[in-house]
Amino acid sequence: MSPDTTRSTPRPRVLSGMRPTGRLHLGNYMGALYNWVRLQHDYDCYFFIADLHALTTDYADPSRLKQNIFDVAVDFLAAGLNPGKCKVFIQSHVPQHAELHLLFSMFTPLGWLERVPTYKDQQEQLREKDLATYGFLGYPLLQSADILLYKPDFVPVGADQVSHVELTREVARKFNQLYSPKRIVPGTGGPNASLSLQTEPDPDLLLLPEPQVLLTPSPKLPGLDGRKMSKSYGNSIFLSDPDTVVLQKMHGMSNGGQRPTQNDPGNPEICPVGDMHRVFSDPVVDLMIRAGCTTAQIRCDECKFKAGLSINTIIRPIQKRREELATKPDAVWAALETGAKYATAAAEETMKQIRAVTGLSRDLSGIRAEQSPFDRNVADPRNLSRYRDWLGLEPAILSRNLREIWHKEILPIETQLKAESEGVWLTLNKRRVCVAAASQNGSDEAWIFAVKAKSYEVIVLLCWDNSQRIHDFVVPQKLYLAPWVTAKKQAGKNDLVFSVERLNGRYFMHLPHAEPIDITTTEEVYGIL
């Protein structure tokens, strides 16, 4: 099934991402996924696995990355993200994330990134890794790119990510300041206020609207030892844990150090097991254990067992789907590829606009072609009517002009020639090409040429006739070699003079004291160059 794109009024857009830490635990589920699953029904949702972000800290050992991505993907789908209702994808499968991150990096001041509180905190916490890197400093900027690429209305995140969304808003403001269409506003204040017109980004035409945080109401979910549930603390219950494992883990859960003997009453408000009941048990069970605990009527064992049962009730359907999906990796991957296709379409739409305003568009419009006196785009370059007034020019000048037209307009664009001397060109493989031009000699169907008496591998003859057409003959040496050698000797230091004549629709090259050479079939034949 593909995401629903048929609605006429667009739904507000939501975007969020999660790092691929491997199988998700209850904290990940309650802190994000559970909320995302609900949002997908009412919003246009984009949810992704932030694999590039994982590399900012784990670049030295990517060996588990792919498996982790897959495990998170399975958890996403098992927990109820429906690829028919929202776009689920892998960050790096939409390369526009990386592209936009790079563009943002051009104008983001270092100070903005150094001041993000998670930067120093994380560096401290992950001391065993070298995080004095460019990529790690840019972590929240990559996140800004993730977000702004889709221009979402809302970004559902936990409290720990608020500073990153704040940075995102700042980046959007700066981007708009630099590149969004401007409107003119009266200057504010000052003695000459009415004179000082200023510009500011037009609020109706902002390229990157600032998104809002949608703070995920995250219930307090402790780990087995009472600290925050976290994979790195080894205190987690995973969505993929079997029933018995959950019961076992819960059996060992901390009660917050209360009830030194089971005859002592406890306080569920400060007990991690109490927190679990509040989140996962139905209200009747929750009330029962509260009453039991505060009166020492229920043993901790039993209370923990009941919490375990409640957790299992919640995660059992997820596990059933998980088991199914885990046996079909192809289907999981295909679902994410489909998600990436939709995400790419949305991302590319934004990138097109962004490339356009940053000078990177592939669209040629806006490029001013250099003005050439000889416009190559004339419909029929061999019709010289537009140069008719040249016919009064001196033959040498006329000839030079014709050669120029020939080179700019008639010579096939892919044929590369290097000018060597007046009227002589070299092909790429160093063959000499003589180009000679003439207009029709009065009413005679004849053209007179004068060229330096040298050797040429090819002679191009340009004949401008009285119907204002130019005929261009590309004559190979083999057609004229023998008489040319003789004529060259005779001419010596003088120009070698010869003619082309038209007879019964055929063209003949006349060299002195030689038989006419039929050059008709060489017209416009540039293959030999």
Applying CB under 6 A, which residues contact ligand TRP? 15-19, 50, 53, 143, 146-147, 155, 157, 161
Distance, C-alpha 145 to centroid of its chain: 11
DSSP notation for 130-188: ---SHHHHTHHHHHHHHHHTT--SEEEE-GGGHHHHHHHHHHHHHHHHHHSPEEEEEPP
**The length of the chain, given as a count of residues:** 529
Strand-pair category, 458-464 with 432-439: parallel
- CA 283 to CA 17: how far, in whole Å? 32
In the complex with ligand TRP, which residue's Cβ is closer, 25 or 53?
A: 53
In 295-328, which residue ranges form alpha helices assigned H by DSSP? 300-326
Per DSSP, the three-state class of 426 is strand
- CA 485 to CA 501: how far, in whole Å? 21
In the complex with ligand TRP, which residue's Cβ is closer, 31 or 222?
A: 31
In the complex with ligand TRP, which residue's Cβ is closer, 50 or 289?
A: 50
To ligand TRP, the closest distance from the beta carbon of 74 in angstroms equals 18
To ligand TRP, the closest distance from the beta carbon of 11 in angstroms equals 18
In the complex with ligand TRP, which residue's Cβ is closer, 116 or 250?
A: 116
To ligand TRP, the closest distance from the beta carbon of 346 in angstroms equals 14
DSSP notation for 206-232: -SSPPPEEEE------B-TTSSB--GG
The residue nearest ligand TRP at its CB is: 17
In the complex with ligand TRP, which residue's Cβ is closer, 45 or 155?
A: 155
In the complex with ligand TRP, which residue's Cβ is closer, 21 or 82?
A: 21
To ligand TRP, the closest distance from the beta carbon of 226 in angstroms equals 23
Phi, then psi, of 173 in degrees rounded to 5: -60, -45
Contacts of 392 (CB under 8 A, 6+ apart): none
To ligand TRP, the closest distance from the beta carbon of 32 in angstroms equals 7
In the complex with ligand TRP, which residue's Cβ is closer, 148 or 491?
A: 148
Beta bridge partners of 107: none
CB count in 10 Å sphere of residue 356: 15
In the complex with ligand TRP, which residue's Cβ is closer, 72 or 435?
A: 72
In the complex with ligand TRP, which residue's Cβ is closer, 36 or 238?
A: 36
- The candidate with the shortest Cα–Cα distance to 180, out of 196, 203, 159, is 203
To ligand TRP, the closest distance from the beta carbon of 158 in angstroms equals 7
In the complex with ligand TRP, which residue's Cβ is closer, 159 or 185?
A: 159
Q: Hey, what amino acid is at 305?
A: F
Residue 484, both tokens: 């040319």
- CA 154 to CA 16: how far, in whole Å? 9
Distance, C-alpha 147 to centroid of its chain: 14
Give the Å distances, CA to CA, from 469 to 102, 180, 410, 411.
55, 52, 12, 15
To ligand TRP, the closest distance from the beta carbon of 18 in angstroms equals 6
Cβ 518 vs Cβ 466: under 8 Å:
no
To ligand TRP, the closest distance from the beta carbon of 411 in angstroms equals 56
Contacts of 383 (CB under 8 A, 6+ apart): 468, 469
To ligand TRP, the closest distance from the beta carbon of 160 in angstroms equals 7
To ligand TRP, the closest distance from the beta carbon of 143 in angstroms equals 4
To ligand TRP, the closest distance from the beta carbon of 369 in angstroms equals 43
In the complex with ligand TRP, which residue's Cβ is closer, 354 or 460?
A: 354
To ligand TRP, the closest distance from the beta carbon of 147 in angstroms equals 5
In the complex with ligand TRP, which residue's Cβ is closer, 157 or 500?
A: 157
Cβ 259 vs Cβ 265: under 8 Å:
yes
- CA 336 to CA 16: how far, in whole Å? 15
Cβ 166 vs Cβ 60: under 8 Å:
no
